[in-house]
């Protein structure tokens, strides 16, 4: 890379910059992330509403077939991971998968400049962290509910009491790894788009997006699936009993 190109990249790529931010009680709120999150949630709710209105016992339409396929796959995973008790977590895992998928796939919206006005909200660490903490809190709640307080605290001493520090560290790292696995992959994908903006001329930028965006769709789908899958796995581990 020539010094001129390097200088051009330095002047163009802004990591962590947002199109619009406001200060509320000393906290910085990134409005582009907030709006993108609300739009993703609205899309999921509309899809669910349309599915309920068009649901039929006869020949299913395309939307119903899509929902049935997703729910069937999630049900199979929940059943194999948790057993009969896993049925009540199917709606949760389905909602998590579809919400993250919509958030991730917002990356395909043409940006044309940096920062983006409507970035994928999962490219900001706050949303993955909030979702990871919510999942982990639910895991511990279900663990206490299944094992009782005595069984919950005793599982930190298994298989041997000397494993107590390692088991505690493992529980602490679960939300951290859950967060950064999703955030890191989506942020890296959006950063790749910024690199394309910096390196390619305006008239050739669409070529770079045409090459990268399909790959970004694949990454987004995989990360949504992994997050939902790990949610079910963590619930399965937390609800295990000596029986």
Q: What kind and span of H or E run contains 131?
A: helix 126-154
Nearest Cα neighbor of 183 from 226, 134, 135, 231 is: 226
CA dist 128 and 48 (Å) reads 22
Residue 201 banded pLDDT, cuts 50, 70, 90? low
What is residue 80's predicted lDDT score, i.e. its pLDDT? Answer: 83
CA dist 154 and 9 (Å) reads 54
Question: How would you label 53-88 residue by residue, b for 16+ Cβ within 10 Å and e otherwise?
Answer: eeeeeeeeeeebeebeebeeebbebbeebbeeebee
pLDDT tens per residue, range 75-87? 888 888 787 778 8
Residue 94 banded pLDDT, cuts 50, 70, 90? very high
What are the tokens at 8? 């051009």
What is residue 180's predicted lDDT score, i.e. its pLDDT? Answer: 93
What is residue 181's predicted lDDT score, i.e. its pLDDT? Answer: 93
pLDDT tens per residue, range 36-55? 899 999 999 999 898 888 77
CA dist 106 and 217 (Å) reads 9
Across 133-162, average pLDDT: 91
Domain locations in the chain as residue ranges: 3-238
Residue 187 banded pLDDT, cuts 50, 70, 90? confident
């Amino acid at each position: 890379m020539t010094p001129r190109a390097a200088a051009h990249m330095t002047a163009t790529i802004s990591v962590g910059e947002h199109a619009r931010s406001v200060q509320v009680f000393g906290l910085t709120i990134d409005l582009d992330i907030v709006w993108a999150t609300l739009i993703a949630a609205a899309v999921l709710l509309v899809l669910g509403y349309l599915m309920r209105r068009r649901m039929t016992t006869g020949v299913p339409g395309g939307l119903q077939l899509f929902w049935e396929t997703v729910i069937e796959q999630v049900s199979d995973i929940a059943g194999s991971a948790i057993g009969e008790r896993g049925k009540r977590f199917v709606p949760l895992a389905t909602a998590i998968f579809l919400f993250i998928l919509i958030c991730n796939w917002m990356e395909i919206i043409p940006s044309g400049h940096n920062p983006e006005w409507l970035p994928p909200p999962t490219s900001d660490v706050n949303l993955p962290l909030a979702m990871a903490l919510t999942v982990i809190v639910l895991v511990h709640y279900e663990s206490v509910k299944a094992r009782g307080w005595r069984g919950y605290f005793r599982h930190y001493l298994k298989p041997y009491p000397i494993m107590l520090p390692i088991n505690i560290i493992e529980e602490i790292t679960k939300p951290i790894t859950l967060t950064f696995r999703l955030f890191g992959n989506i942020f890296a994908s959006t950063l790749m788009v910024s690199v394309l903006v910096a390196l390619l001329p305006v008239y050739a930028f669409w070529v770079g997006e045409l090459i990268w965006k399909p790959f970004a769709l694949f990454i987004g789908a995989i990360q949504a699936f992994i997050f939902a899958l790990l949610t079910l796995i963590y619930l399965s581990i937390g609800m295990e009993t000596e029986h």
